[in-house]
Amino acid sequence: MGPLTGKCVLLVEDNYLLASALQDAMEQLGAEVLGPYAHVAPALVGLQQAKHVDAGLLDINLGNEQSFPVADALGQRGVPTVLLTGYDRSALPAPYRELPCLQKPVNLAAMLTALADLGIGAQAVSGDTIPTTPRHH
């Protein structure tokens, strides 16, 4: 059993390789991954159709759109959210600066710590960076 066993995490990331690597890492840690979604509209549909979501892990920039509507929808449901970005937190619009924010490339321990700080799962002990290429099964 991993630190995310029994947890459902909505994953929104438009980079296929990173999305696959994040999904693989979270599944290895026991999470059920909702997604990954590369765009806002399908992520909102997936969220609406989901019976339960424990957390959201959202890349902010999704090509020509941003994931803030998904963060808003998660917030309305009381679901904790962690943002992923290559930018500094100060570049975020004011309402989102208080959300946990991880810099890319994403460090596995930092991701698990951010989720644990939100009450999702347990803290990690590994400091591995999540690879940009998925493992092959």
Q: Please report the pLDDT score of residue 132 as a whole number.
A: 47
The residue whose two tokens read 């990331």 is 13
- Residues 124 and 94: their CA atoms lie apart, in Å, by 29
- pTM assigned to the model: 0.88
* CA terminus-to-terminus distance, the chain: 19
Architecture of the 8-117 domain: 3-Layer(aba) Sandwich (3.40)
The residue whose two tokens read 């890319």 is 104
Q: Please report the pLDDT score of residue 135 as a whole number.
A: 45
- Residues 136 and 88: their CA atoms lie apart, in Å, by 32
| Residuewise pLDDT in 10s, the chain (137 residues) | 788 999 999 999 999 999 999 999 999 999 999 999 999 999 999 999 999 999 999 999 999 999 999 999 999 999 999 999 988 888 899 999 999 999 988 888 888 889 988 988 765 545 555 554 444 44
What is residue 87's three-state secondary structure?
A: coil
- Domain boundaries defined on the chain: 8-117
